[in-house]
Amino acid sequence: MREQTRSYTTAQPRLTLAHLKAIRQRFSEGAKALQLATRAGEMRFHLDGSSYTATIGGRVLPMRTTSTRAGYGVRHWYLCPYCHNRAAVLFIGKRDLACRKCWGLHYASQSEDRLARMRRSLFKQRAAIWGNYAPAQSLFNDCALFPKPAGMRWETFSRKVLHLQRSEQAYYRAFSPVVEKITGMIERVTLPQR
């Protein structure tokens, strides 16, 4: 097996928009400082006027935010301290905070082969239809046998299941050479008698 050369987003602790919402709420309620424990260490947030600062490993970083219009509301974003681009997620290091691109991080799906991407798509489609329904989380179970979720129209359900069945057929066609290769390599070898 070759050595891993890429760093992935799943390996780094992160600040998401849910964190930003909680930070904004707590400061609006009168909090003076907030603390967050992460795998990279402890972070402290302070409100300086109308902007936030984050202290990571003794280093104080400005934590700027911006907002955009979204329908009838507003969506808040982080601004990366390095590239100043909008980001929904900032990744946390021992003494730093930056967006995915500035850290040079990759998504796990960028290193997956075709079969792994197809498998990920199947699980995503199943979750979109049945949510956390346990039997739907195994590809060994036929999706035609699962019940229609409450509240979903029959037309929508039929359309989604048909699309899922076609995707599963494509996956099994692509996966069959792998199975044949595995089962074809297993042969009974008889040793000559001496």
Could you report the per-residue pLDDT of 112-123, keeping only the tens digit for each? 889 999 999 999
Could you tell me if 92 and 168 lie in one domain? no
Last residue of a domain, one of 75, 107, 139: 107
Q: Is residue 141 part of a domain?
A: yes
Last residue of a domain, one of 107, 129, 155: 107
Token readout for 9 is: 């987003």
Mean pLDDT of the 102-111 span: 88
Last residue of a domain, one of 107, 122, 143: 107
- Find, among 90, 95, 35, the residue nearest to 63 by Cα: 90
pLDDT for 185 equals 60
- Cα separation of 130 and 109, whole Å? 23
Residue 13 is part of which domain span? 9-107
Q: Is residue 181 part of a domain?
A: no
Mean pLDDT of the 9-31 span: 91
Banded model confidence at residue 170, pLDDT cuts 50, 70, 90: very high
Could you tell me if 61 and 97 lie in one domain? yes
What is the edge-to-edge ordering of all strands in the sheet holding 65-70?
65-70, 73-79, 86-87
DSSP 12: S
Token readout for 111 is: 């290193």
Could you tell me if 75 and 28 lie in one domain? yes
Alpha-helical (H) ranges within 41-194 are: 100-103, 114-130, 154-185
Lowest mean pLDDT among 6-15, 22-31, 183-192: 183-192
Could you tell me if 94 and 27 lie in one domain? yes
Could you tell me if 73 and 93 lie in one domain? yes
pLDDT for 188 equals 52
Q: Is residue 156 part of a domain?
A: yes
Q: Mean pLDDT, the chain, as a whole number? A: 89
Could you tell me if 76 and 96 lie in one domain? yes
Angle formed by the axes of helices 114-130 and 154-185, nearest 10° = 150
pLDDT for 16 equals 94
Q: Above pLDDT 90, what percent of the chain?
A: 61
Q: Is residue 87 part of a domain?
A: yes
Could you tell me if 51 and 102 lie in one domain? yes
Number of domains in the chain: 2
Could you tell me if 33 and 83 lie in one domain? yes
Q: Is 56 helix (H, G, I), strand (E, B) or coil?
A: strand
- What residues does 74 pair with on adjacent strands? 69
- What residues does 66 pair with on adjacent strands? 77
Could you tell me if 120 and 155 lie in one domain? yes
- Cα separation of 23 and 18, whole Å? 9
Q: pLDDT digit string (tens) for 62-82?
A: 899 999 998 889 999 999 999
Could you tell me if 60 and 123 lie in one domain? no
Mean pLDDT of the 6-26 span: 89
- Find, among 106, 125, 111, 192, the residue nearest to 165 by Cα: 125
Q: What is the pTM of this model?
A: 0.67
pLDDT for 40 equals 81
More confident residue, 160 or 31: 160
